Amino acid sequence: MAATTDTVHGRIEGVRIELTPTQLAVGLALVAALGFALLFVQEPMLHDSMHNFRHAAGITCH
Residues making contact with Zn ion (CB under 5 A): 61-62
Q: How far is CA 57 from CA 17, 45, 50, 52, 53, in A?
A: 50, 18, 10, 9, 6
Nearest residue to Zn ion by CB is: 61
> Closest CB to Zn ion among 57 and 61?
61
DSSP 35: H
Q: Which is nearer to Zn ion, 9 or 62 (CB)?
A: 62
The CB-of-55 to Zn ion minimum distance in angstroms stands at 6
Q: Is 29 helix (H, G, I), strand (E, B) or coil?
A: helix
Minimum distance, C-beta of residue 41 to Zn ion, in the bound complex (Å): 22
